[in-house]
Structure formats: structure tokens, C-alpha cells
Amino acid sequence: MISRQLRKCTCVVLPAAIATLAIFGSQVAAQSDQDATELTVWFAREYTVPSREKLEAFEAETGITLSVDVQPNDNLFQQLIRMRDAGLELPDIVHLDGFLRPVVAEAGVVVPIQDIVDQWAADDPEGYAEIYESTWSDGMWNGKLFGMANTASMEEVYFRADWLEEAGVTGEPETWDDVLDFARAIKEARPDIVPFGWWAQRGNGANLIFSSMSAMGTEFDGSVPNLKSEGGQYWISFLQTLVREELVSPDAIAWNEDNMRGGFVASNVGMMLDSAPTSVDAQAAGLEAGTNFNIVPMPTSRSGGSTDGVLVSPARTFFVTADAAERGAKDEAGLALRMLMQSDVALELMLAGADPHRTDSVLADAGAVDQWLPIWKEDNIEAFRNQGMFPVDLDFPSAEDVMERFNEFVISNPDMDPMAIADEWQPQFDAIRD
């Protein structure tokens, strides 16, 4: 299994962080004679937890102690609901997959945070202005802001530039048709490897499918795709072409993302769709970014001449729980959210393996980006900066299950008419609404 390599943070405090700490200090000066407030924060992954140094600096400036725990259970939202139903005390802040926000919001586990975000904007307008809109749009449900979706895993096109050069192909894929042509060229240059990594093993999630569908222009109603739309038909045909022309592994139906990622890192796969941090593993394996391989944002044009789709990413999201609000700790939780978006904290976490943070306080700083991931250029950052909303609603868990089975079916039926596939599968998606 290929895992994200942990990187040691040697960063210094950036100017934006110093300004933020000064704001914290002025806000809590009146509390200096009071006992420290303690907040319990549950993080989704170890590499998303700020260092002890950062936590202690936050406590020194605010008087707020953060008691942190890592809860990597992907069914954590069910645990939270059971705790709430049993009358058990919830943590004050929880870190969950963003697609769970409709579920936890409707269950009353978390509360809207527009008030503390508005206070943030008023207290630190310059710092707040550096945060990307997608941080908040991916935290909305039913017109209310429930979460801070501050990191995201944007899928990008990885390709072996050296193998393509052998086939006489230079430049970057600008359309999805180009992606197919690049895969064909890799097959010609390296007939013994898998030109394009795609996986269809069920039970491994469907974020890649939702993201690629959206980029190709598939229309969504919440989490339900319109397979008969131009984008839906193109996505089906795209996968079928990969299979018919033997551009994917004959075992793709049994592959998961580790097979794909491991194959690319081991130089057995020529192209794939994956997030930027995987490039660290590739370089650790001896591949040189910009020479052996490159990464570019997924295209949003199918054939050129128009923009057909939009880039979206699944996002890890911080929520404030109802318990925090009930015990009057919501404002303190708001300060903790600010700390998690400080430039020095964000960069530290990115260097430790976290996904990029949605803020120009880091990504507009060339030195910080070079320290984190030099392969990311302005086009990558601009694409990340301007992402749309990931398609979720209350039906997402059911839609994800159907999507996994649908992906497997398309890979297994490369010669079936795309509209016939849509006729068979659209009712299964639509039934989710019943």
C-alpha cells in the first residue's frame, strides 16, 4: 500500500500567522484573570493535528486549551449520533468528511457557524479575505453554513512526460480527448505497461467518480447524476474507450486506488487521476517531477472550444457541535477554527501530509508552495482556488453505493450503447429519492 509520506516541518511563522496571533491576544486580554477554557477536538487523521508547539502557542494567546484526539473511524458520524441519543457529552469540534454535513446537520449533532465566521471577517478582514469561497460553499446545507471545509483533495492528471516524449508527444492534456490521446501514445511507447490507471473495486469510495463526472460536465441533482446528459454520456463513453482500447488494466474491476497509485509510483502505470500529495511518493521512488512525470488539473473541456464541467473536490470539514453551543463555548470554538487556518499551522500540516488548505495565506506564498510541493504551479493553484461545490445531499451514502456498482458495470460492458447503459442505471439512481 502506498501511503502519504510524512514530511518534517521546518517552516517559520509567516507574517499572516503573526497578525492572527496578535488578534487572538487582543480578543482574550479581558479573560486573562479567568480560568483557561478547554475545548475537545476530534481530528480525522493524525497528520491533521497541529503540533504541540502550535497548540501551546494558541493556549498562551487565548487562554483556551485544546484537548485533541484522533478518531479515524469513517463511521464516526454514526458514533456521534449514538452518543447524542444516549445523552453522552460530545466533543466541541469534530473533523468529518464533508459529504456527511447533511446527515450531521439534520441530526442536530452540529450547529450553524455563520455567526462566528462573520465575527472572524469583522476581526480579521485581511486574513479572512485570503480564504477561498469553496471553504464555505462546501460547508453549506439548506442555506445555512454548518462547516469549515478548509482542506480538499483535488484530483489531477498525472502523466509520464518522459514516456510521452518517446512517442513524440509534448505539452499537457487540455481536454479529456487529449487525455485519451496521451494514454494511446503511452501505450505505443510502452506496450508492456498499463497506460491509464483506473479502478473499479467496490467498497473503496466513489469520490474519484463524482469528481471526474463533474469535470466532464455531468449534471447533478444533489448527489444524483444525470447519465443522459451530454456529460454523463461522455463519461460512460470515456471509460468504455479506455477498456476497448486496452488502455486500462484487464484487472481494473479488482483494482483499488492503492493498485493504481502503487503502479504509477513503481513505473507500471503511465497516467492516473490522483491528488497532489501522491507526487511525494513518486519522487521518493526516484521519479523526478517535471522530468519523469508531471501533474495538471483535470480538464473541464471534453473536446475543446468550450468549458463543459467544473472542478470539485471532497473536503475534510470542521464542525462545531451542539454541545459546544449549549455550554456557551461556540465563540471559543470559532477561535480554534481560525487557528487551524493560520498560515504557519496550515503549512506545517501540509508538510506533514495533509491536503492543501484553501487559503492564499499559504498558496499565494511562492516560498511556502516550493517548500510544500514544488510541482504545484500557478495553474494548479488557480484551479484549486476556483473549485465548485462537491455534489452532496442526504442521499449521498446511497448514491455512492450505486455509483460504485455503476462504475463496475461500465468497465465490464465496454461495447454496450452508452444511452442503453443510462436507461438501465438512471432509474437506480432516481430510486434513491423514493
- For residue range 33-56, list pLDDT tens digits in order: 333 489 999 999 999 999 999 999
Q: Chain-wide mean pLDDT for the chain?
A: 91
Please give the pLDDT value at position 240: 98
Q: What is the CATH number of domain 15-153+314-384?
A: 3.40.190.10
Please give the pLDDT value at position 25: 44
Please give the pLDDT value at position 26: 43
The residues with which 128 forms a beta bridge, in sequence order, are none
Q: Are strands 194-196 and 269-275 parallel, antiparallel or unpaired?
A: parallel
Please give the pLDDT value at position 170: 94
Average pLDDT of span 184-201: 97
Please give the pLDDT value at position 75: 76
All CATH 3.40.190.10 domain ranges of the chain, comma separated, are 15-153+314-384, 155-310+395-433
* Residue 208 pLDDT exceeds 80: yes
Q: Which fold has domain 155-310+395-433?
A: D-Maltodextrin-Binding Protein; domain 2 (3.40.190)
Tens digits of residue pLDDT in 256-281: 999 999 999 999 999 999 999 999 99
Please give the pLDDT value at position 241: 98
Distance CA(30)–CA(26), nearest Å, equals 8
Distance CA(355)–CA(253), nearest Å, equals 27
